[in-house]
Amino acid sequence: MASSTVMNLLYSPYIPVFIEPKFRVPSRRRIRVSSSASFGTNGDIRVRESVIEFGIDGGNGKWGSKLKKKEVPKQLEVLWDDGYGSVTVKDYFEGAKDMIHNDGGPPRWFCPVDCGRPLNGSPLLLYLPGIDGVGLGLCLHHKSLGRVFEVRCLHIPVYDRTPFGELVRLVEHTVRVEHTLYPDRPIYLVGDSFGGCLALVVAARNPSIDLVLILVNPATSFAKSQFQLLFPLLEVVPDEFHVAISYLLSFVMADPIRMAMVNIDKGLPLPKILEQLSANLNYLLPRILDLADIVPKETLLWKLKMLKLAASSANFRLHFVKAEVLVLCSGKDNMLPSSFEAQCLGKSLQNCEVRYFRDNGHALLLEDGMHLLSVIKGTGKYRSSRRHDHISDYIPPSLTELKVQQEQGFGLRLATSPVMFSTLENGNIVRGLAGVPNEGPILFVGNHMLLGLELTSLVEEFGRVKKIMIRGMAHPVLFTVDSRFSLDNNSTIDKVRQFGSVPVTPRNLFRLLSSDSFTLLYPGGVREALHRKGEEYKLFWPDQPEFVRMAAQFGATIVPFGVVGEDDVAQYVLDYNDQMKIPIVKDFIKLMNHYATRVRGDEEGEVSEQDIYMPGIIPKIPGRFYYLFGKPIETKGQKALLTDKERANELYAHIKSDVEKILSYLKEKREEDLYRGILERTLYRAFSAPTCDVPTFEP
């Protein structure tokens, strides 16, 4: 068996048996594990000793048989390696081929080697496969999920004929045992197609257990699909033609091109991408014939009949499901009407959200563009206790997430060519982030541009240059908005959550600073981000020094900063005042804000005008964004700020004045930038290296 597949963790349908491996073998080595379990007449379990053959580089140039036990980290580092792209669909077919040979015995759980050891206190994740039953559908995501989940996958042998009811009891037994052992931790059920029906039935039968269901193109819509036409065809087709049916079925289930794109760097030149894509397809397409071995004719007939029963059972019990549910549906699912079914489930289930993947096929988890952990984070579904905690359940962005963000934000970054300046301790302004401290707690305080356009480049630059992830204090509406029927798998709201933003509350600011975080605060809030005509770069800060005393309590360093450039990229057409003069629009804005969480509702003046609306703007020929981080202000040792209100007010006024001076400085100095216009920058890139920094004014 391929080492990247399983460690051979056997479970009986009734009594779970865990075989603890003594060695971890690198995935590039091959490992053959044979083990069996038998049951005595009195119900006791007898496990034969496993035979393991392997070769390991002991590190001293010799072959050894032991690996040093790695300590489990307490938390993940910023931009941790999630391993995405190191495993492809090739590994799925190779692993499946190994598992189906001489595969007897009942359905069982296994723990993938690639998952490694999770963080302490990680919740349990049970993967329930589709009709293939192999249990390797998560292979592209093992390394990322294994860092924050205890992952177990259900394997249903090819020639096993365990009925649906027994499979339900197997999963249910495991769920109940784990809930008894750890009653305060949630249990995640990731149900893929047929597995989605299985997950729903288990959840309906156990409403008192804290479950989180992630349903990937669930087969609850089986009765509405054209897939049932396979029944009469399979019964009459000769066995020698089953390979052809399997080949056609594989193209219905998945998009080969998206499967082949998994390990290709999208930043490469187009000819190189096409070359790698061709090589991957040449390897992948012949392997699709292996589907006939993974799901032979008799097995396919059995599982289609069981799938019909599973879909019926799940639909009958939908109103009993109390668990959190996240439905992931594909826009190009040629096997099931998943998009329509996701909307139906969103309306039928009590606590359900939907995410739509427009360009993916039925085998969503094996295709490019799907990062399951990122989706779980972005929807706020990851938690290690009964309720999601924005601080303790925080998972830092991985290398893949930053890379995807950079690819998606490439257009804005190319159009605005952001320039970062910072201030050294001696007061000198330099290009880059050298003047920003590297150790927290740090509190960044600055101005919001229109619609928060400055956020993407700011977060990316700190991640790329300093390996620091800034955690923003965001409006609570971004965490409470009803996104049940979101048709965008990459919504702005999901990105805000994915990169660690938290609702702006005094308690959350307290907890972030107490954990030495790099925290981003906009005192002007929505009033600055959704300002009116002619109010570019105007600060709308409250009168009270709401953040100064908090920073002083933890000795945090306050870094004032300013950003200009919105007037170079957009022109206001309809602002809040204009829209409130239109009756229909006015009623919509009032209704929307009636249910939104109010921030600074107890303040007076303009700062209290925190209504949310969508400004009417038209784009301009893009100019450039300029950032300047002012001289850091130390509060360490200034405990007097906690009790001396006058001194705290003075520091607050000083910080606000610094931000205003920064804005004035940038607006004046940008006039000296010979490359402020996009045409000049484009010509510079055409004659220079495309990735080089475009020059700007001298500070």
- Return the sign of the alpha-carbon dihedral for residues 564, 567, 569, 572: positive
In a shared domain, residues 375 and 432: no
Q: For residue 593, is it within any domain?
A: no
- Looking at residue 407, its amino acid is E
Q: What is the pLDDT of residue 484?
A: 42
Could you give the CA distance from residue 240 to residue 519 in angstroms, rounded to a whole number?
A: 64
In a shared domain, residues 258 and 132: yes
Q: For residue 389, is it within any domain?
A: no
In a shared domain, residues 347 and 445: no
Residue-wise pLDDT tens digits, 89-109: 888 888 888 887 656 678 999
**DSSP string covering 5-63:** T-----B-SSSB-----S----TTSB-EEE--EEE-TTS-EEEPPPEEE--EE-SSSSE
In a shared domain, residues 403 and 321: no
Q: What is the mean pLDDT of residues 106-135?
A: 92
Confidence of residue 273 (pLDDT cuts 50, 70, 90): confident
In a shared domain, residues 324 and 450: no
Could you give the CA distance from residue 166 to residue 170 in angstroms, rounded to a whole number?
A: 6
Q: What is the mean pLDDT of residues 291-304?
A: 74
Could you give the CA distance from residue 695 to residue 281 in angstroms, rounded to a whole number?
A: 42
**Nearest residue to 560 (alpha-carbon basis) of 618, 633, 465, 616:** 633
Q: What is the pLDDT of residue 611?
A: 81
Question: What's the chain's average pLDDT?
Answer: 81
What is the CB neighbour count within 10 angstroms for residue 674?
A: 12
Q: Do 313 and 201 form a contact (C-beta atoms < 8 A)?
A: yes
In the predicted model, is pLDDT for residue 512 greater than 80? yes
Taking CA atoms, 108 is separated from 102, 134, 156, in Å, by 15, 10, 7
**Nearest residue to 570 (alpha-carbon basis) of 631, 624, 617:** 617
In a shared domain, residues 416 and 349: no
Q: Which of 346, 379, 412 is the last residue of a domain?
A: 379
Q: What is the pLDDT of residue 335?
A: 83
Q: What is the pLDDT of residue 429?
A: 95
In a shared domain, residues 484 and 434: yes
Q: Do 146 and 112 form a contact (C-beta atoms < 8 A)?
A: yes
| Backbone φ/ψ region at 238: left (φ over 0), alpha (ψ -120 to 50), beta | beta
Q: What is the mean pLDDT of residues 266-284?
A: 81
Q: What is the pLDDT of residue 73?
A: 60
Q: What is the pLDDT of residue 29?
A: 31
Residue-wise pLDDT tens digits, 185-221: 999 999 999 999 999 999 999 999 999 999 999 999 9
Q: What is the mean pLDDT of residues 428-436?
A: 95
Q: For residue 278, is it within any domain?
A: yes
Pairing relation of β-strands 108-110 and 150-155?
antiparallel
Q: For residue 61, is it within any domain?
A: no
Q: For residue 367, is it within any domain?
A: yes
In the predicted model, is pLDDT for residue 43 greater than 50? no
Task: Give the residue numbers spanning the domain of 117.
Answer: 89-379
Give 82: exposed, middle or buried? Use CB within 10 Å, 0-12, 13-18, 19+: buried
Give 53: exposed, middle or buried? Use CB within 10 Å, 0-12, 13-18, 19+: exposed
Q: What is the pLDDT of residue 632?
A: 95
What is the SS3 assignment for 47-61?
ECCCEEECCEECCCC
Q: What is the pLDDT of residue 17?
A: 35
In a shared domain, residues 329 and 410: no
Share of the chain above pLDDT 90, in %: 41
Higher pLDDT, 295 or 361: 361
Contacts of 552 (CB under 8 A, 6+ apart): 635, 638, 639, 641, 642, 648
Higher pLDDT, 406 or 485: 406
In the predicted model, is pLDDT for residue 32 greater than 50? no
Task: For residue 548, give the CATH number of its domain.
Answer: 3.40.1130
In a shared domain, residues 147 and 228: yes
Q: What is the pLDDT of residue 487?
A: 44
According to DSSP, the residues that pair with 46 across neighbouring strands are 38
Higher pLDDT, 422 or 37: 422
- Looking at residue 557, its amino acid is T
Could you give the CA distance from residue 555 to residue 99 in angstroms, rounded to a whole number?
A: 57
Q: Which residue has the tokens 């989706």?
A: 375
Higher pLDDT, 343 or 289: 343
Could you give the CA distance from residue 502 to residue 472 in angstroms, rounded to a whole number?
A: 6
Could you give the CA distance from residue 682 to residue 685 in angstroms, rounded to a whole number?
A: 5
Would you mind telling me the total number of residues written for the chain in this entry?
A: 699
Residue ranges of alpha helices (H) inside 455-608 are 455-466, 477-480, 492-498, 506-514, 525-529, 548-553, 576-579, 583-595
In a shared domain, residues 194 and 136: yes
How is the beta sheet containing 324-330 ordered, strand by strand?
108-110, 150-155, 124-128, 187-192, 211-216, 324-330, 352-357
Q: What is the pLDDT of residue 326?
A: 95
Task: For residue 144, give the CATH number of its domain.
Answer: 3.40.50.1820
Give the CA-trace dihedral at 656, 657, 661, 662, to 10 degrees: -30
Range of lowest pLDDT (8-12, 270-274, 518-522): 8-12
Q: What is the mean pLDDT of residues 675-687?
A: 89
For the chain, the domain total comes to: 2
**DSSP string covering 158-217:** TT----HHHHHHHHHHHHHHHHHH-TTS-EEEEEETHHHHHHHHHHHH-TTS-EEEEEES
Q: What is the mean pLDDT of residues 136-154?
A: 95
Residue-wise pLDDT tens digits, 65-88: 333 444 556 688 888 999 898 888
Pairing relation of β-strands 51-53 and 518-521?
unpaired
**Nearest residue to 146 (alpha-carbon basis) of 178, 112, 174, 175:** 112
Residue-wise pLDDT tens digits, 464-492: 899 999 999 888 887 776 554 444 444 67
In the predicted model, is pLDDT for residue 662 greater than 50? yes
Q: For residue 592, is it within any domain?
A: no
Residue 531 has φ and ψ, to the nearest 5°, of -75, 180
Q: What is the mean pLDDT of residues 561-578?
A: 91
Q: For residue 451, is it within any domain?
A: yes
**Nearest residue to 502 (alpha-carbon basis) of 480, 526, 531:** 480
Q: What is the pLDDT of residue 687?
A: 81
Determine the longest span between alpha carbons in the chain, in angstroms: 89
According to DSSP, the residues that pair with 420 across neighbouring strands are 627
Q: Do 167 and 198 form a contact (C-beta atoms < 8 A)?
A: yes
Q: What is the pLDDT of residue 604?
A: 61
Residue ranges of alpha helices (H) inside 50-163 are 89-100, 142-148
In a shared domain, residues 134 and 206: yes
Q: For residue 111, is it within any domain?
A: yes
In a shared domain, residues 118 and 219: yes
Cis peptide before 542 (omega within 30 of 0): no
Q: Which of 315, 346, 379 is the last residue of a domain?
A: 379
